[in-house]
Each structure stands twice: as structure tokens, then as C-alpha cells.
Chain A
Amino acid sequence: MSAHANAAGPQASAVPLVRARGLSKAFGASGGLFAKAPKPVRAVDDVSLDIEQGEVLGVVGESGSGKSTLGRLLLRLIEPTAGTLEFAGENLSAMPDGALRHFRRNMQMIFQDPFASLNPRMTIGDALVEPLRLHRGLHGTAARDAAAALLTQVGLTAEHLHRYPRAFSGGQRQRIAIARALASQPKFIVADEPVSALDVSVQADVINLLQDLQQSFGLSLLFISHDLSVVEVIADRVLVLYLGRVMEMAPTATLYAHPAHPYTVALMQAAPGRHRGGTRLELAGEIPSPSNPPSGCVFRTRCPFAIGACAETRPALREKAPGHFKACIRDDLAF
């Protein structure tokens, strides 16, 4: 499979594959068993985004920024507390459960830990045949053949079908997880830190594989990672999240060359090996609790450029250049 670097770019069209408007998720609004006073945790707060067919949208941010929650919301694995979600023009947020079950074949997920995402008691063949039967109605030899074809696509062979997950390394398991996600012939995949648990030499293989498959099938991908250098390799556009809110969103090349939000700059400079010479914009403190976010701009408590006005109103996500959005009132900063 050869995928050329600049072939098969995203297809901008009137209707994006995934469209989210004002998507929010607050957890624990009802209060848990031991909660003193129920205080909702706003994991994702008013996020709007489009993902075109064949586009890779990278999502970066620290732990607690809401990356994974956003991924699950887009698949409707969890219900939003506010906002709407459309998939290829269909209103996914209002779809009844029965219809949603059939619709799910269009959307799949790949998780971080390939040791936890495969059933240790199922052979790889059985793990692949299950979605083939459920979503594509394949049985018997046809299902086996399709499973073998899937394994070949991810760089494994048909003889692996009879083995159990324990026989495979982390990288191979992640390939199997990818094969399983592809079984239903989805249009959209959420990959949540898919290479974070892998060794670097294996990580590169899995990223290249994902990129090849994404391009040859024209898949749309939400690629969630804490590692900005990995996202840079695979994403067409990048969304930077902080405390559930979009800080910045831009085409990858633009974002890495001309980051406009202080948080993006701080994240980039924090990554080792990225600030050769010069002083690093090092963030003090840690991400605040999402149950008690700062007023105004949520990033202001760690932002070295915060001014009085930052505490007053929530900054709008403004388009500072075509396709380049930022939620920061300071237009006087140069990075």
C-alpha cells in the first residue's frame, strides 16, 4: 500500500462528515453518593467543529482538557448535556437508539491500551468476525476471508487468525485493534492516544499504517494525543483544548509555524527538544479543576500574558486568518 504524502487531501464539501455545534458535557451534575454539594464538572464546554470527509483532525491538550470526552461525544458513546451533532447531514444527537445501533457501523474507536481493548479469551479471528457478522452480515467462510483480508491490510497474516491476543506484542495488538475498527467499513474513526503506549520504533509503524489506511479509504479521523510531534505528523488540522474549551484551531502547518494562543505556544515549548536556544515559556502550576474553572478565559491563571480583562468575559473563538481560530483577546502578542 503506497500512500503519497500529499495525495487524497480532505474533501471540503457543503456538508462535512461530522459537524458539532455547541457541544458540551457536564459530569456529575446530580452528585455522587459521597458528594457534599453536587458541582458539575464541565469536561467539554461549548465546542463547535467540522470534520470533512478524509480529514484528520488532531486534538491536543493536557490530561483533564477533555480530549477523550470530546471523542466519545462525537461518537455519541456518551450523551451531550447541550449542543447538536450531525453525521453526514443526519442529526445524530436526536437519533433513536435502534437507528443509532445500525448507524454505529459508520463510526469506530481505537483506544490507547491494546492490552485492554482485546478480549483475552477470543482468538483474533473471532474478534474480527464478530463485527463482520454484526455490521456486514458476513458468516462462515465469507467472514473468515474478510477477517484474513483485514489482517493483511494491517500488516499481519491469515495465520494469526487462530491466535489469542497474548501471542502478540503491543504494536501488533494495536494493528489488530485497527483491523477490528475497520471491519464495519466506517467513515469516521476516533483514535484516542493510539500510539502512546508503544515504543518509539513501533509507534512510527502504527502511525504510518493509520495514515496509509486513512488515505486509501478516505477515512475521517479524530486523532487524540498528548504528543504534539505525533499529531503534527498525521493531522491536517489541529484543535487545542484546555479545560474543555477550544483555545486554538488551525491547519497543522499554520499552527506549528505560527501558533497564536499562549497555551499552544506553551505546549509546544514544553515538548522536549523543541526550544533550541532562547527562553522557554514555561507554564507555572497545573490545569485547574474543571469543577471550578477560572472566570473569563479559563487559561488566564497560568497565562504569563493575562491582563485584567482576561478575567471578565469568556473570549470568543475568533478567526484571525482563514481557517485559523483562536480564543484569546490579546492580539498584540507575537510568538
Chain B
Amino acid sequence: MPSAAMPFADSPGAARGEDDVPAGTVLDIADLKTYFDTDAGIVRAVNGVTLRVADGQTLAIVGESGSGKSVTGLTVMRLLARTPGRVAGGSILFRGRNGLVIDLLALSEAEMAKLRGREIAMIFQDPMSSLNPVFPVGEQIAEPIRIHKGASRHEARAQAIELLRQVGINDPDTRVDAYPHQLSGGMRQRVMIAIALACDPRLLIADEPTTALDVTIQAQIITLLRRLQRERNMAMIFVTHDLKLVEEIADQVAVMYASQIVEQGTTADVLEHPRHPYTRALLDCTPHGGAHAGGTRRRLQSIPGGLPSPLAPPAGCRFHPRCGFATAACMAAEPVLEPVTAQHVTRCRRWREITL
């Protein structure tokens, strides 16, 4: 059983229940394993992820392509059924609006369908492929309201218009009848947010929601998400590759590399005092401005080597082939998440000795 002092540290996979989810926690993921069976072998896309999301707070999951960040979100939503993906272990405990704790992995598909949209909602990177092109957006916002809240067609339409107004769409009385192709990318993402928020979920999973948008529109969407989150006291998992966005939106951050969390803590701790060489390296290769400061031009740092194959990750620490601090011990055995402070963990056995 995890002790209160180390909320994120690796814990034995014993059966867990309501008592393991402290008050104020919406989502508690422990030792989650999501595998994909492919012709080439088993891809362990999520391999032992432990996470907690607090009420009304934002947890960012940051990582590069193939790190497992999106699959983690999809697993929570139980959206892997039509893929070769399967949950090979772990638990996902969710505290619903009624205060009861549910194991999402133990729910039947029908039970999960009732929860999806009502208690947990998700938005994706590409709103065009999430929206149905042949229905007006208003109907797509009204649908969950009718299904989950039993509202009449008329009431649902009125609520859809109100939601469009809340997500900052001008002239919502007209736009409610627009088809997705008649809207810009930014407006479609606003519509997706309206659909996700239609039933006032406790948890929103946002998977790269602004990656396809211009920076100016991204800034608008981030402002909007933060405002709606505050107004509704909604928790959020924000999946992104962009550390600079993490800084703007997240209270907590989990850094993923090769299917595992390598560092987790408060955003300020992790970004300002990283304790894992990968986090440090990611920060260093992100252009931060001031490249011309002082008259000479600074080069970007890069991380040597490439992302490891998901079929055969390196033995020992998965980051060791690209890490400037790796020793023989790092190649020999897989590191565990070690507590740096009560709020900060790192999967680096050398964190005490190295200066990042």
C-alpha cells in the first residue's frame, strides 16, 4: 500500500479499492500496462504507469511520439476495444460525482458507456476527424445531453446554443446549425470542447488539443480551457509534446519516455529542478527564446540517438543509450521511481550524484 508520504512511488500490485484513493483525488492509476499484440511482437505501449489526478487540477503528460502518453489517455477512456490493444495489468480508480470510487477496468462496456461523456470526456488533436461531417454541430453537442441527461430535443438544442456561447463562438444561434466543414479549425476545436463539456464531466482528457492550431488560436483555446476548468472545478489530463504549454497549463506534470513515467511532480519542481536527464535534455532542446541575446547565437542542444523501438526497448534504464550520465549499473537493471521529495519522483538511480 502506498504511503501518504510517497504518493507516486512504485507500489506492489496488490488489489486496491476505495481506501487507496485519498479524498480530493479524481483519478488514481496504478501500475497500468497497456499492450498491443502486433505481427512483429508485443508492443508494451504503457508499461507500469502510476498517476494521480487531483480534483480541479491539471496533470500534463508530456513526451515524444511513441512515449505512450496518448495510449494512457485512451486506456482511461477504455477506447482500445477496437484496436489490438489490451490492458495487461494495473488499475484505474475513478471517483465519480457521487463520491464513490469505481474501478474503470472492471466496468462492463455498457457501464463504461454511461460514464463516458458524463463523468469523463476526451478531446483530440484533430477535431475534423472527431466530428461527424454529415450532422450540424448543434446536433452533435445536443446528443450527449439527450442521452446522458434525458433532455428533450428542444432543451438540448437550447443548451447546445448556450455551450457554444460559453466556448466563445460568436453568433451561436446561427452557428448551431453549421456543419463542421463550415467552421475553421479553431472553431471546430471549440465545438469539440462544447461536446466534451456538455454533461459537465469531472475529468477532461485533452490529447494534444491545440497541436493542429496556430499559436494565436492555441492561446485562445488554452485560455478557454483554463476558464472553463476553473468555473466547473473540472480536473484535466493534458497530453502534449510541448513543455512550454505544460508550463502554462499544468499543476502537475508526468514526463513519459518509452512507455514509462521517468519523472513526475509539480510543474515548477519538474521544469525548474528536473531530476531526470531526459527531462533536462527535453528542456534543453526546446527553443526558449533569447537565441540572439548578447550578440552571439546559441545553438540548440539535441539528444543523441533516436527514440527506442517500442518492440525492444533497451535493457536497464530505457534512456541509457542517449544519456550522458549512464554507467554500467544503468545498463544492468531497470531503475524504479525514487522519491526526490514527497511531491517529486524520478526514475534515475543517479539523481543524487548528478547535476542537471
- Contact residues of A with B, CB < 8 Å? 5-6, 62-63, 169, 171-172, 199-205, 207-208, 211, 226-230, 232-233, 252-253, 256, 266-267, 269-274, 280, 282-284, 286-287
Contacts and interface: CB of A to CB of B under 8 A. Distances in A.
B218 A272 contact: yes
A169 to B, nearest CB: 6
Interface in B175-220: 184-187, 214-220
B245 to A, nearest CB: 5
Name which of B184, B215, B242, B282 has the most chain A CB atoms within 10 A of its CB: B215
B352 interface: no
Nearest to B214: A62
Given A6-B297, A62-B214, A204-B301, A274 B289 contact: yes
Given A199-B241, A283-B220, 10 more contacts: A199-B64, A200-B64, A208-B302, A229-B289, A232-B289, A252-B291, A271-B215, A282-B223, A286-B187, A286-B217
B298 A5 contact: yes
Interface in B101-146: none
Contact of B282 (A200, A226, A256): A200
A253 B292 contact: yes
Interface string B29-64: 000000000000000000000000000000000001
Contacts of B300: 204, 207-208, 233
A286 B184 contact: yes
4 cross-chain pairs, A with B, having the tightest CB-CB distances, nearest first: A273-B244, A229-B287, A204-B285, A253-B292
A226 B242 CA distance: 15
Given A267-B216, A273-B247, A201 B289 contact: no
Counting contact residues on chain B (CB < 8 A from A), the size range is 35 or more
B45 to A, nearest CB: 16
Contacts of A211: 299
B79 interface: no
Nearest to B248: A272
B341 interface: no
10 contacts: A62-B215, A200-B241, A200-B282, A201-B281, A253-B295, A270-B215, A272-B218, A272-B219, A272-B244, A286-B187
Contacts of A229: 286-289, 291
A249 B220 CA distance: 26
Nearest to A280: B219
A208 B299 CA distance: 7
A256 B302 contact: no
Interface of B: 64-65, 184-187, 214-220, 222-223, 241-245, 247-248, 281-282, 285-293, 295-303, 306-307
A138 to B, nearest CB: 31
A5 B302 contact: no
Contacts of B215: 62, 226-228, 267, 270-272
A256 B220 CA distance: 22
A287 B220 CA distance: 13
Contacts of A284: 220
Given A200-B286, A204-B300, A207-B300, A256 B219 contact: no
Name which of A271, A272, A280 has the most chain B CB atoms within 10 A of its CB: A272
B248 A232 contact: no
A70 B353 CA distance: 52
Contact of A270 (B216, B241, B282): B216
Nearest to A271: B215
A226 B216 CA distance: 10
A62 B185 CA distance: 12
B282 A201 contact: yes
B302 A232 contact: no
B194 to A, nearest CB: 17
Contacts of B241: 199-200
Nearest to B222: A272
Given A199-B64, A201-B282, A272-B242, A5 B296 contact: yes
Name which of B65, B241, B289, B300 has the most chain A CB atoms within 10 A of its CB: B300
B303 A201 contact: yes
Contact of A226 (B214, B247, B285): B214
Contacts of A226: 214-215
Nearest to A269: B219
Contacts of A232: 287, 289, 291-292
B214 A271 contact: no
Given A200-B64, A272-B242, A286-B186, A62 B216 contact: yes
A282 B291 CA distance: 24
A282 B298 CA distance: 29
A267 B248 CA distance: 16
Contacts of B64: 199-201
A203 B282 CA distance: 11
Contacts of B295: 6, 253
Given A201-B281, A203-B285, A273 B216 contact: no
Name which of B216, B242, B248, B288 has the most chain A CB atoms within 10 A of its CB: B216
Contacts of A271: 215, 244
B319 to A, nearest CB: 11
A274 B248 CA distance: 10
B255 to A, nearest CB: 12
Contacts of B290: 256
